[in-house]
Amino acid sequence: MKPIVEYSDFRKYMLDFYEERKRCSAFSWREFSKIAGFTSSSYMKVVCDGKSKLSRIGVERTGAAMGLVGFEMEYFRAMVEYGQVESEEKKVAAYNNMLAIAKVHKVRVLEGDLFKFYETWQNPVVRELAPQMPGATPGEMAKKFYADVSAAEVRESLDFLTKSGLLKKTEDENFLRTESSITGTPDATRLALRGMHRQMSKLATPALELPVNERNFTGVTMGISRELYGRIVKELDECLRRIVALASEEKNIEQVYRLNLQLFPLTKNIKEGEAVACSDKENDDE
């Protein structure tokens, strides 16, 4: 499903959300309406068909039902107003609000620079760190890393990020981020990210030695089916999307964090096995 800022029709967004959920599970209009807190089992479909409008409270309930937070919820409110108001003046104002939100939170699509960006784990970290340290030298930035990183490596990342347009250097020699997130075509992204995942997984091991109030490691071992696997992946994708939306709203950045969501098989396929009801939860935090 496309990022919300690529939509201008809130009904189309709601319909795509419904179709995406239905494709991965037994989602229905009844369930959609129930989650949104509407007594009519078909209300969401009626809205999507253009036969009814969303009230102010309905906008909040619907957004929450779709897991929208942060700027995504803000954009959805503006999109609903744009789609429902009749006054030309209000419609223009709502549309301009949508454009302003989309401009701030747009997604940068990379192809040629995608592999270069994910070639080393320092690139995304420097991209987050540099704007928060105005006037800092590469050496001063390097000292903020937990892992061993040299000033030369930070300088190389800064050069690449500015040349590719992912960071902007201001007149006073400080750095600004130009986009909130980065993506590429699905195939290119998967290939580029494999190396990044390997590097970040290695960094996770020494992070276990940090104080428990600075890091969080949890895990669960469970038996599942292929159908449930697809549903879990969908839930993880939705969770990550909401977290990214929350992070994009943060103005008081203090540290750069990495969140890894990992779901992988520990055994080969058991042909005649069934999903196991119980699970073994592992949590090292006390």
Q: How many residues does the chain have?
A: 286
Domain 106-207 has CATH 1.20.120: no
> Which residues does residue 264 pair with via DSSP β-bridges, in sequence order?
none
Give the confidence band of 5 by pLDDT, cuts at 50, 70, 90. confident
Q: Answer for the pair 86, 53: CB distance below 8 angstroms, yes or no.
A: no
- What pLDDT does residue 105 have? 72
Q: Are strands 175-177 and 218-222 parallel, antiparallel or unpaired?
A: unpaired
Q: What is the CA radius of gyration of the chain?
A: 22
Q: Write down the pTM of the prediction.
A: 0.59
Contacts of 64 (CB under 8 A, 6+ apart): 36
Q: pLDDT higher for 89 or 107?
A: 89
Nearest Cα residue to 114 out of 223, 15, 187: 187
Domain ranges in the chain are 4-104, 106-207, 212-286
Residue carrying the six token digits 């991209």: 127
Q: Residue 106 carries which DSSP code?
A: P
225 CB neighbour count, 10 Å cutoff: 12
* pLDDT the model gives residue 73: 93
Q: Residue 263: is its pLDDT beyond 60?
A: yes
Residues 22 and 8: their CA atoms lie apart, in Å, by: 22
Q: What are phi and psi of 213, to 5 degrees?
A: -85, 0
What confidence tier does 238 reach under pLDDT thresholds 50, 70, 90?
A: confident
Pairwise CA distance, residues 194 & 114, whole Å: 12
pLDDT per residue as tens digits for the range 63-82: 999 999 888 999 999 999 99
Strands 279-283 and 218-222: antiparallel
List for the chain the helix, strand, coil content (%; round to 5). 55, 10, 40
pLDDT band at 107 (very low <50, low <70, confident <90, very high): low
Predicted confidence (pLDDT) per residue in 117-166, tens digit: 888 999 999 999 999 999 999 999 999 999 999 999 999 999 999 988 88
As beta bridge partners, residue 176 has 168
